[in-house]
A = this chain, B = another copy of it.
Amino acid sequence: MIENINEILKKNQLSVTDSRRKILEMFQHTSGALAHADIEKQSGTLFDRVTIYRTLQTFVEKGIIHTIPTIDNSVKYALCKDACQAGHHHDNHVHFMCDECGTTYCLNNISIPQVQLPEGFRSTQTDVVVSGICKNCND
């Protein structure tokens, strides 16, 4: 179910611009995660590289998207679900990265068991990165 894009932008006190609408749309139309390069490729020469960087940065600050840790250390972003909309959130994510095709899937409906930390450590966020072969590449 796709939320109204203009609503989301206004709710976050952001001016409604072409680039923001288009990029937000891309996230809503993908089940997985997007890298800066993916967005640049998909949008062609529509907007500047710098605009994409700044848009992603703004979205992260507003809590619309979040960055995903990856083993190959490429920077990927995914839409935040309602649960983590509050900007600075205490939240958990499970992501699956395919070793073969590189696609990143968000496995939001999987619960993470709490990790027991040593004395003196306080956790605000836990990310689980599962690597392997995805459904598509397995067939």
Binding site for B on A (CB under 8 A): 67-75, 94, 96, 99, 105, 107, 110, 112-113, 115-135, 138-139
* CA distance in complex: A138, B135 (Å): 43
The 6 closest A-B pairs by CB, nearest first: A120-B135, A69-B69, A123-B132, A113-B113, A127-B129, A125-B131
Q: Evaluate contact between A122 and B133: CB separation under 8 angstroms.
A: yes
* CA distance in complex: A118, B107 (Å): 9
* CA distance in complex: A123, B72 (Å): 16
Q: Evaluate contact between A107 and B117: CB separation under 8 angstroms.
A: yes
Q: Which residues of B sit under 8 angstroms from A123, Cβ to Cβ?
A: 96, 130-132
* CA distance in complex: A138, B110 (Å): 30
Q: Which residues of B sit under 8 angstroms from A115, Cβ to Cβ?
A: 94, 107, 110, 112, 128, 130
What is the chain B residue whose CB lies nearest that of A114? Answer: B113
